[in-house]
Structure 1
Amino acid sequence: MTYANFLKLLSAVLGIGYIAFLLQQFFAPMSPLMAASVHVYMATALVFCFQPLTFKDDKLPWLSRAIDLCCIGVTLYICYHYYTSTARLESRLEMIDDVLFADKFAFVAGLLMLFEAVRRSVGFSLLSVVIVFVLYGFFGPYFPGWTAFEGFSLDTMAELISMQTEGIFGITASTAINFVFYFVLFGCVFTMTGGGSVFIDLAMKATARLTGGSAKMSLLGSALFGMVSGSAVANTTSTGVLTIPIMQRSGYTKEQAAATEAIASTGGQLMPPVMGIAAFVMADMLGIPYVEIAAAGLIPAVAFYFALFVIVDLRARKTGVGNINAKDLVIEPIMPRIHLLFSPLLLVVALVAGYSAPYAAFVGAVIALLAPLLRKNTRYNLKEIYPMLIDTAKQMAWVSVPLASVGIIMVVATQSNLAFKFVEILSDVGTGNLYLSLLMVILGCIIMGMGLPTVAAYIIGAIIFAPALTDMGIDKLAANMFIMYYCVLSMVTPPVALCSYAAAAIANSDSSKTGFIAFSYALVIFLIPFSFISDPVVLWKGSIGAIMIAFAGMLVATFCWAVFLQGWLKKNLNWVERIIFLAISLGIVLEKSNTLLWFVFLGVAAVMIAWCWKSGSVKNKLAQA
């Protein structure tokens, strides 16, 4: 047996065992510490299997293989250690009972294995941040200024990070087990049984003959796929293979096509009912049902895609680029496959009916597995279940390892009082100017987002920034949603922009140019979160009437914001007109809905839109004459 085949076999055994272990938690859950420890280190071992070590000049292949096998062996031993030691760890008195040598070894070795798995799964960006926090925990007295503290001993670090349901076995691990797994399972099953292709065909059918239809197809397809995926990169790779070539053939450059798909897929993390992993973590951290998070995200997500849709439409009308070619309008009949949409429909119904998010996603996955069998044209071979399981295990490993490492950041930041110190500083600034504090939070989120996955950036932001915002009187949910929205930009923020990189790989475009173009498109998101602060009714808090009025205002504001950014509405706008549209959008967002001033801004918006439309029409007629 070759090494490659051996690794494939080992991946299959560990992957299926891992999925079986996670499924067991649904029917007969283990204790939190045992479940979290087995989950984290099985996921770590799978990363080593799925992403074997390679050197640029691999003259000693046996060395990389030996390292891989050593890492897998050590990781599985650590997994065994926690499995057999859980009863002792749960009964010991924290910070009083002795820390055994075996516990210290498991902590140090486990930390090294986790570091390497983070490096292989998401790169040095997150790894460097985690290492800085570990060093901060050990060498706190040597850090400058207000960041300095007394530091932790090896025993204390081991207890905080790896011997209780905090640190790597804390809220991030429990979220992965109790929430993320079921939605990842649902997304994998739904996509691999053909449901994803139905969404893409629906998007193409709906936008085929619209102005700028190729980009609008990307937006709608990514929004629909994002409803059940929640993963920006998976969204990009699944929809981008079809949408990016069509956009290129319609006149977009490679970078423009890739950037459009990247930002469209990024929005999938904001689209209910299945938002990104950060939304599950938010539900766990705030202690509120996930369905409330999904409801709160509905209006902002629609506004986000609406603004993108307006920008695409204005750009297409201005340049004449983006219409779908007739030869691309080959759509497989949808009605014979419409039953494949039973599962996402059932998932939404179950969430609205009040069932728990894991239950809704698990039942949705079962229906997604069974629905294709109803008709001959959609039936699959039972052999296809195996790649579904392996893909689910791989996606879970890639999600769980970074999540576990972020747990280290959480516990060090809180136990060292670093988060509390930052809250004091931001609160002092906020007493003078709330919006200055918000701008500082935005800057912090974007800086973190340049090197971290969305969920990592959100968790750090939630620890450091959210308490300060709530101290200023901002609603907890609004503060966390505000932070999450700016952290979502990490997917398209250079220099580390995973969505942009994935889209650039499909388009064979320059990844840096793609990232910067995608970030420029992402400017539409900058305005929306401010409404959470000034008018929390947009987070589905209030009567239906008030919510619908605020929703309409949000659409007007995002339309005006898009017009300002694009600089075109039936004609090229001068700077005075653009600034007026900017002022209108800011006024609607920063003013509470249903007030006199708010309605004045809406009235001015109507006047400006009518003026630009009429003057643009006259100008075009004169040009044609």
Structure 2
Amino acid sequence: MSTTSINADQELAEKLQSLELSQRPEGSAVGRFIYWAGVLFALAHIYFNTLGTLPELWVSAIHFSGFALICSLMVPMVRCQTAAGRRLALMLDTLVGIAAVFCSLYLIGFEDALYERGVKFAQLDWVFAVCAIFISLEMARRTTGWFIPVMIVTALTYVFWWGQYIDGVFGFPGLSLETVLFRSYFSPEGMFGSIARISWTFVFMFILFGAFLVKSGAGDFIIELSRCAAGRFVGGPGFVAVLGSGLMGSVSGSSVANTVSTGVITIPLMRKAGFPAKFAAGVEAAASTGGQLMPPVMGAGAFIMASYTQIPYVDIISIAALPALLYFMSVGFFVRVEAMRSHADSVELDTRPIGEVFKDGWHYLLPLVVLVALLIYGFTPTYAAGISIISVVVSSWLSKNPMGIRDILDSLAQGSKNMATTAMLLVAVGLVVNVVAMTGIGNTFSLMVTDWAGGSLLITILLVALASLILGMGLPVTASYIVLATLSAPALYSLIAEIELISMMVAGTLPEAAQTIFLLVDAEKAALLMAPMTELDAQQMLAIVPDDFKGQLLEMAIAPETLAMTLLSAHMIIFWLSQDSNVTPPVCLTAFAAAAIAKTPPMATGFMAWKVAKGLYIVPLLFAYTGFIGGTTSEVLSVFVFSLFGIYALVGCMEGYLESPLNIGLRILSGISGVVMMWPHDELLFKLAGMAVFVLLFWYSRRQYKLQSVTAVAAG
């Protein structure tokens, strides 16, 4: 594809991406203000993350006010058809933005005065605290709809009003409104707390890094490289979608951004090759969803996960790489099967030789190399992102279109605009997280989920998946992950850790320190721990340990590094399941965006994307029951390889097709072989047998395809 064509497609993608939010033209006075405000605010954030020494609470407040001002002007309160109506709306939006600025200035200027009064609210404290919360609600409403504001209002009123009228485990005696407002506005645990801090540090710097990469031309290079690498295979345009979305995801970490940037190229190509339009849109949506799973950015999820688990960011992205690859391969299997079934032959993509493309664009990879190298060397993610931004500019000087001052300013402005809605979302969700911390409802919810599941890890995962789907109807992926992780991660962590504990009890290797817990509960039964026991006996013994003692028991029995990986597994399960809202009807924005490009029915496209994205449900089970996270290198590679074949076998079972049609018996056999390969057991012979069965099925299917081809040629 020519550079002119790629640039035209990129322009269309940017228009599609901004269509839903931006209602004011960039050339207008408001557009110019947003541009320069974005430039200045991006520079301010770079300062905050490098040389700045302001208190974190103040920086979080500045972060909120600046992006509230930008967002209020980018996304109008109402859409008006008349000029007078638009002027009035602009005045109201400007007032909202200015009010947000004053809320932050008041916090910075009068925080000390509040503490000097013994944390007793003055009249203006009430005014600005309420105003800040209402602005946060309004910004969330504009960018994501009514779900988040309603959820926040419900959470806040639960604390000071209606929680006291509830009986049972969810009853809460209540706090005063003054206390709730203090903890929400002035406290470093509320809307300007840890989630806001993640927003102005990690998330902003990486979104800015992505904006610089795209402006430098790296996005065009990624798409063209993907076309050269995968475009000449059977069903190549489908593989271009998978590969291109994966590589773009490593830059943007946004599923919708991936869809509109790669979909305008890949969906028409897939249709031209012979893929059904609905399938082409579904593949693009499913592949773009993987962008949030693909290191190094992973949306905002990796940064929030690092904050929750206290596991270094670089460790998280290194562990997430193979699971992300497994997901993209699973989407690729659907592409291969549909290509064979639909006879979607490769189309001429008008690409240059891959060596020539790489020779012209190899420098676009340098910033990613710098980023990964700095992270591995031990630098903080924000510092690594800052140096990588500089490396983007420097590496662009090796290209035919070096970045100049105007390009740098455009990147700064675009990074701020890309961040505006995300910043408002994260600040707003911080209010919900604060309520969970204030009330202890997270522990209550975790205990309730465990009780409903009857101690079953599988049922717990199913409940979390159901909750993620329901939350995903109204919450973006990042918000859904934050809420679910806050509520259900403790339950998942405990159940996964108990599997390890039971295996130690079965083997008779429980440390003596941990045995003292059982001695306190039942000294007679504790004597049985000295020797190996059956799994059922171990489960029964563990059941007699009170919940209050189980956390201490796990810490005594299991090594700290193993517990850390167990906690990461719990968060990874929730993070992966949170992605399903992108591709699962009735609300699946990524699938709807792909449907708009393909001109297919949105709901039907959503169901197709849901089918193609089955890896979102399979891989979390591997996190829970295997050593895919935290295992030895051989364990991780073994799980990866067998799961790769296993998922392909399950795809064949679901589709009734590999290289040629499978009858009902062969479909069942393919499904059984897939389950055997992924079943959490250590019997290597069984897994090898399952793999052998699938390889024979594939060979038989391929042979049938060749026979059919020969017959067709002879008949022709």
Specify the TM-score bucket, using the shorter chain as the normaliser.
Answer: over 0.9
Shift of 1:607: 4.3
Residue 350 of structure 1: which of 366, 374, 379 is its match? 374
CA contact 2:259–2:288 (8 Å) conserved in 1:
yes
Cross-structure match for 1:18: 41
Residue 510 of structure 1: which of 601, 604, 618 is its match? 601
CA contact 2:639–2:678 (8 Å) conserved in 1:
no
Cross-structure match for 2:122: 100
Residue 339 of structure 1: which of 332, 350, 363 is its match? 363
Distance in structure 1 (CA, Å) of the matches to 2:126 and 2:586: 37
Shift of 1:51: 1.5
5+ residue gaps, structure 1, are none
Cα deviations across residues 39-68 of structure 1 (Å, max 9, x unaligned)? 122111110021123335546333312211
Shift of 1:249: 2.4
Cross-structure match for 2:591: 500
Work out whether 1:564 is the aligned partner of 2:589. Answer: no
Distance in structure 2 (CA, Å) of the matches to 1:44 and 1:143: 35
The CA RMSD measured in Å over matched residues stands at 2.6
Distance in structure 2 (CA, Å) of the matches to 1:32 and 1:135: 27
Cross-structure match for 2:521: none
Query: Structure 1's 621 and 524: CA in aligned 2 closer, same or farther, altered over 3 A?
Result: farther
Cα deviations across residues 128-159 of structure 1 (Å, max 9, x unaligned)? 33333233334223457643322332112112
Query: Structure 1's 381 and 23: CA in aligned 2 closer, same or farther, altered over 3 A?
Result: closer
Query: Which stretch shifts more, 573-582 or 356-365?
Result: 573-582
Work out whether 1:591 is the aligned partner of 2:680. Answer: yes
Query: Which stretch shifts more, 587-596 or 280-289?
Result: 587-596
Residue 229 of structure 1: which of 235, 252, 261 is its match? 252
Cα deviations across residues 175-233 of structure 1 (Å, max 9, x unaligned)? 11221111111100011110111111110001121011111101101111111221212
Cross-structure match for 1:55: 79
CA contact 2:642–2:691 (8 Å) conserved in 1:
yes
Matched AA of 1:554: S
Query: Structure 1's 364 and 155: CA in aligned 2 closer, same or farther, altered over 3 A?
Result: same
Shift of 1:579: 2.9
Cα deviations across residues 388-443 of structure 1 (Å, max 9, x unaligned)? 11111111111111111111111212322322221111222444422122211111
Cross-structure match for 1:542: 631
Matched AA of 2:578: C
Shift of 1:71: 0.6
Query: Structure 1's 334 and 104: CA in aligned 2 closer, same or farther, altered over 3 A?
Result: same
Residue 133 of structure 2: which of 88, 111, 119 is its match? 111
Work out whether 1:67 is the aligned partner of 2:156. Answer: no
Work out whether 1:434 is the aligned partner of 2:457. Answer: yes
Cα deviations across residues 530-579 of structure 1 (Å, max 9, x unaligned)? 0101113x22x233333222221221122222222222112222333323
Distance in structure 1 (CA, Å) of the matches to 2:675 and 2:110: 57
Distance in structure 1 (CA, Å) of the matches to 2:176 and 2:325: 49
Distance in structure 2 (CA, Å) of the matches to 1:340 and 1:249: 30
Map 1:52-451; keep pairs closer than 5 Å.
52-55=76-79, 57-58=81-82, 60-88=85-113, 97-137=119-159, 138-142=161-165, 146-321=169-344, 323-326=346-349, 333-375=357-399, 377-451=400-474
Distance in structure 1 (CA, Å) of the matches to 2:358 and 2:258: 21
Matched AA of 2:445: F
Distance in structure 2 (CA, Å) of the matches to 1:73 and 1:262: 38
Distance in structure 1 (CA, Å) of the matches to 2:214 and 2:682: 40
CA contact 1:33–1:86 (8 Å) conserved in 2:
no
Query: Which stretch shifts more, 614-623 or 304-313?
Result: 614-623
Matched AA of 2:265: L
Query: Which stretch shifts more, 581-590 or 355-364?
Result: 581-590
Work out whether 1:465 is the aligned partner of 2:554. Answer: no
Cross-structure match for 1:477: 568
Matched AA of 2:100: T
Between the two proteins, the alignment pairs up a number of residues equal to: 618
What secondary structure does 2:451 align onto?
Answer: helix
Query: Structure 1's 493 and 88: CA in aligned 2 closer, same or farther, altered over 3 A?
Result: farther
Distance in structure 2 (CA, Å) of the matches to 1:249 and 1:401: 40
Query: Structure 1's 593 and 218: CA in aligned 2 closer, same or farther, altered over 3 A?
Result: farther
Distance in structure 1 (CA, Å) of the matches to 2:86 and 2:659: 62
Distance in structure 1 (CA, Å) of the matches to 2:689 and 2:602: 44
CA contact 1:591–1:597 (8 Å) conserved in 2:
no
Query: Structure 1's 208 and 596: CA in aligned 2 closer, same or farther, altered over 3 A?
Result: closer
CA contact 2:255–2:292 (8 Å) conserved in 1:
yes
- TM-score, normalisation: structure 2: 0.81
What secondary structure does 2:397 align onto?
Answer: helix
What secondary structure does 1:284 align onto?
Answer: helix
Residue 45 of structure 1: which of 59, 69, 77 is its match? 69
Distance in structure 2 (CA, Å) of the matches to 1:330 and 1:206: 9
Matched AA of 1:77: F
Query: Structure 1's 151 and 197: CA in aligned 2 closer, same or farther, altered over 3 A?
Result: same
5+ residue gaps, structure 2, are 1-24, 498-565
Matched AA of 2:108: Y
Distance in structure 2 (CA, Å) of the matches to 1:333 and 1:387: 26
Distance in structure 1 (CA, Å) of the matches to 2:397 and 2:428: 40
Query: Which stretch shifts more, 558-567 or 526-535?
Result: 558-567
Distance in structure 2 (CA, Å) of the matches to 1:597 and 1:619: 33
Shift of 1:280: 1.1
Shift of 1:446: 1.7
Distance in structure 2 (CA, Å) of the matches to 1:27 and 1:514: 48
Shift of 1:305: 0.5
Shift of 1:75: 0.9
Distance in structure 1 (CA, Å) of the matches to 2:166 and 2:636: 48
Shift of 1:451: 2.1
Asked which structure has the greater CA Rg, the reply is 2
CA contact 1:310–1:559 (8 Å) conserved in 2:
yes
Query: Which stretch shifts more, 238-247 or 190-199?
Result: 238-247
Distance in structure 2 (CA, Å) of the matches to 1:178 and 1:293: 17
Work out whether 1:553 is the aligned partner of 2:553. Answer: no
Query: Structure 1's 326 and 292: CA in aligned 2 closer, same or farther, altered over 3 A?
Result: closer
What secondary structure does 1:167 align onto?
Answer: coil
What secondary structure does 1:48 align onto?
Answer: helix
Shift of 1:586: 3.0
CA contact 1:214–1:322 (8 Å) conserved in 2:
no
Query: Structure 1's 362 and 417: CA in aligned 2 closer, same or farther, altered over 3 A?
Result: same
Residue 576 of structure 1: which of 648, 653, 665 is its match? 665
Distance in structure 1 (CA, Å) of the matches to 2:278 and 2:116: 57
